[in-house]
Amino acid sequence: MLFLIVSSLFFVWSRIQVIQLGYEISNALKERRALVETNKKLRIEIATLKSYARIERLATEELGMSKPRPDQVIVIR
């Protein structure tokens, strides 16, 4: 009788552990999806911030820069 009780308790405990691990895996997968989505958004933001058109606009409008004249360009080889 004692063996039956102990084995039943072990079976219930192991089922609870399986369910708990399932929840943990599910939460980890949700977190991974969220991190992948954040990573995609950040990569798009980096590409936007690095764009030549944006940098040129900032240089001319905010910093008052202009394109150099041909005589101001020195090519180094």
Cβ contacts of 48 within 8 Å, gap of 6 or more: 54
Report pTM: 0.63
- DSSP state letter for 73: -
Residue 2 has pLDDT above 90, yes or no: no
Domain ranges of the chain: 2-72
Mind listing the pLDDT tens digit for each residue in 34-60?
999 999 999 999 999 999 999 999 999
